[in-house]
A and B are shown apart, each in its own frame.
Chain A
Amino acid sequence: MSTSFENGINTLKEVIDAPIAAYFSSCTNCGICAQACIFHTETGDPKYTPIRRVEPMRRIWEQEYTLVGKVKKALGLSKPVTQQDLEDCVELAFESCTTCGRCSMVCPVGNDIVYMIRRMREGLTAAGLAPKSLQEAAVRTLEKGSVMGFPMKTLEAMVKAAEKETGIDINIDKPDVDYLLLLSSAEVMQFNEIIASLAIIFKEAGVTWTFSTLAHEAGNPGMHMGASDIEAQMINRIVQAAEELNIKNVISPECGHAYMAIRWEGPNVIGRPYPFKVFHIIEVLDQLREQGKLKTTGCESERITFHDPCQAARRGGVNQPQRNLLNMVSSNFIEMKDSMACNWCCGGGGGMNTIEKAEPLMAKVFNRKRTQIEELDVTTVVTMCATCRNTLEEGIENNNMNVEVVGLTELVANHLLKEKKS
């Protein structure tokens, strides 16, 4: 994609749709969104008020799409958006926002502010202002099919190790199976026990599945950047893989943004509906539970809680399956205050965890999650997003907290009832 100031402005004009026009028409600058944003509540800095993050787009909307704005523009009464305005916006739209969407849940006039922030990012990216780390991640994903740059052969090595560990054959590029499984980079790199866990779970459940060499990861930096062309390329690989292998169900990994990209945005960025269904891995496990195909044994008796990943829960609508599974393997699951759709973000999402200069701010805003966890006096925090898991682990370590972080799939796998089958 060629980038320039003009492209940025044109993109911002293009992305303004009826909802955004209704949002800007309705905003009274009341400031209530500030109280929902960790960057505001944990720093007290008014500049982090969510609606301020889209001010250049508001001005473009007013000048281009309202009669009053057009008159003001003709009379020279309004300032056109400048390169400097866009540059100033990078900090607010990319470097201090995880696009968690909590602000969108409290706005009294109902504005979906993060819907607008995501469009604002599209304009900034078209203007060539996307953070370098995200651009690099996008290049890696386009070249190697992996956000962190792990080629398929890295995954193949992991698969071999998991086969050895479990004694179960794991398919790669096998057509006509029940599920195509996608992973996140963090799972390949750090949390690869998930491969063995799922191999066991699926074998016990009697479902067939495969990896694909064409698309092995679902991570999509194009989505964080707001580069729909890059996002679409990544989605198209997955679509092609599922179509070629004739698979009707695609599994999104324990990764919030990957779920958002492949489940909700994918068909819209490629411009056509999928010929398959997409589920978050936790939705799949819950379906297996419901069908009686997922049997567990034993219960965690220690106090555990759950951190809802913003993109999967609040923005993605996966709120109940994780609770069904938690209650299956724990007798002492305690809800965090403000859970599910109103959960507080860990501070690492939206691509922020890739931006080095945002690290001190991320560490600061983790304070909210720290307080929430400490209030509950738990031994374990369970989650279902690799980015959240990383952020939680880092925050917990930095704050010398005595709490363990576990992925939900892994927790379920630890309690799996393995039936001897002849």
Chain B
Amino acid sequence: MNEVELLNWARGPGLMYATIIMVFGLTLRIFEILSLGRPKELAEIRDSGVRDGWMTILKRSLPEPAHWKLITASYIFHVGLLVVIFFFIPHTQLFRDVFGIFWGGWPNYVIDFFTVLSIAAMLYTLVTRFYDPTRRILSKMSDYFAWVVTFLPLLTGYMAFHRLGMDYTTMLAVHILSVELLMISLPISKLTHAITFSMARYYTGSNNGRKGIHS
């Protein structure tokens, strides 16, 4: 398989398989959670808790002052990732081709800025996993795996755009494959939190809301 064939495979069947695995896997994960059920609340509630459930989904995105450096870094790379994924023009063209919706995109220098910022922020979070005693003791292989598969698309995307490393075609193929690795990893790793965080926040928020607590 030469680099053109590799790129074609990555863009075609590779992307299709990755999408199927991601969608099927995430659906399964959500089903695994929901199937465990939630005990019925028999105590007299102060409120239905629905509003607090939704509010908690939003409010827990607000930064906590403690641990501000880690929070800032996390913000940067989460926002940066979303910007790069959804506003880099070639990406938006792909979404247009697949979903038929086009929302333009942002200039390359903006995307470049977010990419570098995200890479730096991610490196910071990795360093703290090694040097912060609390984070070191908590960190498992699965945490490092999640970090690697998130970092690779950023790095390879940056390298492909700036024609670094391998030839462009190969680099682009590697970039797309790294994205596919990320997609496949979503349902089988810590990255599932990208979806389940809203469920966790809702459960906590609505449980608290029933008691009249705003969390």
Contact = CB atoms under 8 A, between A and B. Distances in A.
Q: By CB atoms of chain B within 10 A, which of A30, A49, A264 has the most?
A: A30
B132 interface: yes
A22 B38 CA distance: 11
Interface residues of A, number: 57
A25 B207 contact: no
B203 A22 contact: yes
Interface string A31-56: 11011100010000011010110000
A18 B190 contact: no
Contact of A29 (B43, B44, B139, B188): B139
Contacts of A315: 211, 213
B107 interface: no
Interface residues of B, number: 56
A299 B188 CA distance: 62
A279 B188 CA distance: 46
Contact of A28 (B37, B143, B211): B143
Contact of A18 (B37, B136, B213, B215): B37
B190 A106 contact: no
B32 A21 contact: yes
B56 A51 contact: no
Interface in A73-111: 104-111
A18 B197 contact: no
Contact of A265 (B37, B43, B140, B207): B43
A30 B78 CA distance: 14
Nearest to A49: B134
A26 B44 contact: no
Interface string B155-195: 00000000000000000000000000000000010101100
Interface in B189-215: 190, 192-193, 196-197, 199-205, 207-208, 211-215
A316 interface: yes
**Interface residues of chain A: helix, strand, loop or mixed (majority):** helix
B39 interface: yes
A161 to B, nearest CB: 35
Interface stretch (A169-177, A210-218, A267-275, A375-383): A267-275
B101 to A, nearest CB: 28
Given A21-B33, A49-B138, A266 B43 contact: yes
B135 A112 contact: no
A109 to B, nearest CB: 4
Nearest to B203: A19
A67 B36 contact: no
Nearest to A269: B42
Interface string A252-270: 0000000000011111100
Given A22-B203, A29-B139, A29-B143, A67 B32 contact: yes
B134 A22 contact: no
A273 B39 CA distance: 13
Contact of A32 (B32, B70, B190): B70
A112 B193 contact: no
B102 to A, nearest CB: 32
B43 A32 contact: no
A31 B197 contact: no
B35 to A, nearest CB: 8
Interface string B26-66: 00110011111111011110100000000011001100101
A268 to B, nearest CB: 5
Contacts of B64: 32, 35, 106, 108
B57 A110 contact: yes
B133 interface: yes
A264 B38 contact: no
Nearest to A277: B44
Interface of B: 28-29, 32-39, 41-44, 46, 56-57, 60-61, 64, 66-67, 70-71, 74, 132-140, 143, 146, 188, 190, 192-193, 196-197, 199-205, 207-208, 211-215
26 contacts: A17-B39, A18-B203, A19-B200, A20-B36, A22-B33, A23-B203, A25-B29, A26-B200, A27-B190, A28-B190, A29-B143, A30-B70, A32-B70, A34-B134, A35-B66, A66-B29, A105-B215, A106-B66, A108-B60, A108-B61, A110-B202, A111-B200, A112-B207, A112-B208, A315-B211, A341-B214
The 10 residue pairs across chains A and B that have the minimum distance between CB atoms: A110-B201, A317-B212, A267-B42, A19-B203, A317-B211, A35-B66, A22-B199, A25-B196, A46-B134, A29-B138
